[in-house]
Structure formats: C-alpha cells, structure tokens
C-alpha cells in the first residue's frame, strides 16, 4: 500500500510571497508527501492568479471567494465573477468568506462584512458547493449566520483556522461541519486549540496550512508551505494519542468526501 498522502485544504499559493519560487515549490509537493491542495481565494486582485494556478497543477483545486478584509471593496460585479469562477470543474468550494472583527472594529464595517458573507453563502447554496469560513473575534455573528444557512439546505463546510473554544466547536460539529486545523496546534501556548483538537472527532477535522501564514513549530515565523503539514499531523496525533498515519489518512478522506474530489 502507498503511504497516505496529506491533503492541504487551505493554501494561498497565489500570494506574492510565493512569486520567487512558486513553480519549484509546487513541483516538490508529491515528493514531500503532499497529495492534494486547495488554493483558497482571498483578495479581489488575486482571483486571476487563483484560476491560473488551479488550471496549471492537476493536484491543486480551488475555492473561490473574498475574505472579509476586502468586503468593503466588493461590488455586484465581484459577486458575478465569484459565481462564474465557481462553475469551473476544479472549483470545489466557496471561500474564504466570513467575518473578521479583530482587524475591523467599526459597526459599519461589520454590517458590510455580514452582507458580503451572506451574499457568498447564497452562491454556495445555489451552486451546491461547500463553504470555507474565516471567523475571528466574531463568534456570535458567525454562528448565527451559519446556523441560519445550515437550516436552509447548505451542503456543509469547514471553519478554517478554528480559533474559538470547545463550546463553539460543539455547535459547529453538531451541524456536521469540519474544523480546519493548522500550525497553531503546534504552538506551546495554544492550550484552547489543543483542547478543541482533543474534543473534536477525527472524522470532523481537516488539515490546512493557510500558507504563507501560520507556520508550525519548529518553523514558526518563517514562510509556511504545505510541506510543513507533517508537523501539524504529528501534533494532532500526540494530542489524540493515535498515529500520525491515521491522522493523515482520515483527514485526507474527510477532505475528499466534503469537497467531492476522488483519487
Ligand atoms: Ni486563509
């Protein structure tokens, strides 16, 4: 049997941090044990590059969406563009979408973020695609919106870079959603997340990098890439008292099932 390959559900290889060596790096993934990557949209300007990367590499799939940081810049045209791109064969989700009250504190901004979050959730529902959610210091509003959509025939999704506690995890797990776990799980001071990892069933966890951000220990602070995911898988295995292979194999299966990507 082949060794299980890692599935990175959340990477940003369109980011300029990868301009110097994108091609070389992506060509080294198979040898590094990385089987599949979802490149996730974030900025409006990055959408072209996202499509380019997804079309170029057979093992790279896409999620299309705009991050809450860019919500104030979004127009009807942006939403049309997201819908158009989402219909490409290799686009498997709408993301990353959601709410970020950490960087954006004003009430007016929160309203704009909520409106664009919901408009993109509408696209996910109508195009029958799962969603990938970014939520930072916006626990209640995110949960309210996700609950409402899940009652209304959504396909499912991932709460990316999960940063809340066990109570919030219970809510999302109860709706059948997945938690995206990345580099933070390896940090010494990440007690809250380690509790969540211990609590969540492996059948509802997926691996992610959020690269170029959030490099795991021992590479914390450096540019991240999918090649660092073995450190995250090992950290999850240690917390749960299982083997790293089991973590890699199950999280890969979870991601394939949710995103509809067969081997
Ligand atoms: Ni991200």
Gap from CA of 210 to ligand 1 centroid (Å): 5
3-class secondary-structure state, position 131:
strand
Q: What is the pTM (predicted TM-score) of this model?
A: 0.96
Please give the mean pLDDT across all residues of the chain: 96
CB-based neighbours (< 5 A) of ligand 1, an ion: 210
Using alpha carbons only, what angle is made at residue 138 by residues 133 and 141, rounded to the nearest 5 degrees? 85
Q: How many angstroms separate the alpha carbon of residue 64 from the centre of ligand 1?
A: 12
Strand partners, 211: 11
**Ligand 1 mean position to 1 CA, how many Å?**
33
Structure tokens given for 164: 């809340």
262: Cβ–Cβ under 8 A, 6 or more apart, which residues?
Answer: 256
Distance 241 CA to ligand 1 centre (A): 28
Q: What is the pLDDT of residues 152-178, one digit of tens each?
A: 889 899 999 999 999 999 999 999 999
Q: Quick: pLDDT tens for 182-238.
A: 999 999 999 999 999 999 999 999 999 999 999 999 999 999 999 999 999 999 999
Instruction: Determine contact, residues 10/40, Cβ cutoff 8 Å.
Output: yes
Rounded-to-integer distance, Cα 81 and Cα 44, Å: 10
Separation of alpha carbons 163 and 185, rounded Å: 10
CA 47 to ligand 1 center in whole angstroms: 14
CA separation for the pair 44, 52 (Å, rounded) = 14
Angle at 172 between CA 36 and CA 6, to 5 degrees: 15
């Amino acid at each position: 049997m082949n060794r299980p390959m890692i599935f990175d559900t959340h990477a940003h290889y369109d980011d300029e941090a990868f301009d110097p060596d994108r091609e070389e790096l992506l060509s080294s993934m198979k040898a590094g044990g990385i089987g599949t990557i979802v490149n996730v949209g974030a900025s409006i300007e990055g959408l072209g590059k996202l499509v380019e990367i997804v079309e170029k590499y057979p093992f790279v799939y896409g999620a299309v969406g705009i991050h809450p940081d860019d919500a104030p810049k979004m127009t009807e045209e942006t939403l049309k563009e997201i819908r158009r791109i989402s219909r490409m064969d290799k686009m498997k989700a709408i993301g990353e979408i959601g709410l970020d009250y950490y960087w954006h504190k004003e009430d007016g901004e929160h309203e704009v973020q909520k409106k664009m979050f919901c408009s993109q959730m509408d696209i996910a529902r109508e195009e029958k695609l799962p969603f990938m959610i970014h939520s930072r210091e916006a626990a209640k509003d995110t949960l309210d919106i996700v609950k409402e959509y899940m009652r209304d025939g959504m396909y499912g999704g991932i709460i990316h870079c999960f940063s809340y506690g066990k109570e919030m995890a219970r809510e999302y797990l109860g709706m059948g959603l997945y938690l995206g776990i990345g580099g933070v799980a390896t940090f010494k001071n990440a007690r809250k997340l380690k509790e969540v990892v211990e609590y969540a069933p492996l059948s509802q966890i997926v691996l992610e990098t959020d690269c170029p951000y959030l490099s795991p220990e021992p590479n914390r602070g450096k540019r991240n890439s999918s090649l660092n995911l073995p450190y995250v898988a090992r950290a999850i295995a240690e917390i749960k008292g299982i083997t790293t292979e089991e973590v890699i194999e199950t999280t890969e299966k979870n991601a394939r099932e949710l995103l509809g990507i067969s081997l």
